[in-house]
Structure formats: structure tokens, C-alpha cells
Amino acid sequence: MVASVCKHEDRIRLIAELNRRIPFPSRKHHMPLHNVDIFEDLPSRLDKTVNPYVNLLVGGQHDSLPLCYGQSLKGKAGRWRETLCEKMGFPPEKLILEIGVHKGKVIINLALDYPQWGFLGMDITFKRVVLSAEKLTRAHTKNAMILLGNARHISKVFTPGELDGAIIFFPDPWVKKKSQMRNRLLNESFCRDLSSSLKQGAFFWLKTDSEDYFRLAETMVTGLGFKPSARLFPQPYESTFEARFRSFMLPTFEEFWTKC
């Protein structure tokens, strides 16, 4: 499904203008965890003077911010409903995972709109994890948590059929160089692991600005038995990235699949 269209040359021009007007934050504050064991307690070993979010991450876990990382992730697979029940006071009716929380906009709105459901947001950068957890706290949500870790390790964090749904909005398409495409999250191995973690009847909601990435993901997902279906949510839950693309009239692509 294409949200908007424009000529290819206009798209290239507008993306360049988008990057110029809205620069992304410094990489030193993001420090993504690409090749780190998800159970490794990396923040405790890093120089806390380099990235202020390292201290906030370590302190936040001790100060009861809704976040989880490293060793505290161990033993959680198969017990996420129990973990959220301790916060909510009752077991969540559904368990939904958002991969790539960015600034927390989507997961916060979902958690507020569906207080009877449980939401987990996973990201690989310290800044996004800390800021999203702080926003969840300010919003007084009890049904959501943020996890620090690379989603490639999803099979270590969730048991088969544990999730009722997964959301991935605007994953990095890695299109600057052809060789970078191997860094894409959505590949055959990851899609198999994601499918395994989703129960029958669960959904997978994807949005991206890359048509090539979308078509490849579509092929992999449908090959695993997922079928396009009507979106479960009446609201589009527009992310920060989607708002930016729309403001420049750039095309976006999305689909809502159900595991059959």
C-alpha cells in the first residue's frame, strides 16, 4: 500500500533537503549495539563521560524507569506477561512488540489507547531507550516497557508464540551503498525468528519509505504464511519519521499482515 507518490528525481531531491533541514542527532549519543550479545551488560563497561545516556540508562534501571537491558533480560522469555502484570495489576490481554521506538511516540500512544494490552519497545541506541522510558513514565503508563538490544536476538528474548503482534516502522533501509544492504534488519533469518515469536492470528505491521525494502519484506513475510488483512487499529499511529516524509510528500509503503 503506497501512502503517497512522487517522481524518482523529486524523491532524491527531497530526501537531500530533508536531511539538510532536519539533521539526525550525533552518533556518539546513539551508540548502536549492532554486534553485541543482548545479555551483555555493556553500559557498565563504557566510558560514561563520552555519552551522557549511559549514566541515565544505568541509573534509570535502578530508579524504576520502565526499561530493561543486559543481564536483566535473562529469564524474561516466556514471562513478559507476568512481568507486565506486576506493573499493571492484571495480565495484559495482548502482548505487542515495537521494534525501533525512535522517540517513543508510537508506543506511548498505543499504551495510552490500549491500557488493557502490554507493549514492549526494543531499540539499539542508549538515547532512544532512555528518552522513551522517561516519556512513558511522564505519561503515567503502566503497561509498557523499553528494552535495549538488537532485535536480531529476538529468539533469545521471546518464546515461540509469545507475541500477539509486532510493529516495525521505518527501519533503516541502508540504501547509500549496495554493500550496506546486508545490515538490513529484515532478512530471511530475522523474519523466520519474528514469525516464530508470533502466535497464530498475530499481526505484523510494517511501514517504510523504501519500496525495494518493502517488496523484499513482503516476499519474505508472505512466504512464511502471512496474509494481508484489515488493519486492527483505527488510528494510523504516525511516527516522527512518517510525519517528516509526509511533510515533504515523499512516498511511504505499509502493510498489515496476519499470521495464518
The radius of gyration of the chain's CA atoms, rounded to the nearest angstrom, is 18
Query: How many residues are listed for the chain in this entry?
Result: 260
Question: Which residues does the chain have with pLDDT short of 50?
Answer: 4-8, 11-12, 15-31
Under 8 Å between Cβ of 173 and 209: yes
CA distance 111 to 96: 10
Residue whose C-alpha is closest to residue 29's, from 13, 52, 7, 10: 52
Q: Quick one: which of 91, 92, 144 has its CA closest to 122?
A: 144
Closest CA to 134 of 154, 104, 110, 102: 104
172 is catalytic: yes
The percentage of residues in the chain with a pLDDT greater than 70, rounded to a whole number, is 78
Task: Single out the catalytic residue among 172, 193, 209, 212.
Answer: 172
Q: State the DSSP H helix or E strand holding residue 256, giving kind and residue range, or none if neither.
A: strand 253-259
pLDDT digits over 220-240, tens only?
999 999 999 999 999 999 999
DSSP designation for 23: P
Q: What's the pLDDT score for residue 232? A: 95
pLDDT at residue number 7: 47
Q: What is the mean pLDDT of the chain?
A: 85
What is the rounded CA–CA span in Å between residue 248 and residue 41?
40
228 closest CA partner among 198, 260, 196, 197:
260
Query: Residue 146: which H helix or E strand, with range?
Result: strand 144-148
Query: For the chain, what are the domain ranges?
Result: 8-259
Ranges assigned E (strand) in the chain: 67-69, 95-99, 118-123, 144-148, 163-169, 198-208, 226-228, 253-259
What is the per-residue pLDDT for 251?
93
pLDDT, position 61: 61
Q: Please state, in angstroms and rounded to a whole number, the distance separating the CA atoms of residues 36 and 43.
A: 11
CA distance 77 to 159: 5
Fold of 8-259: Rossmann fold (3.40.50)
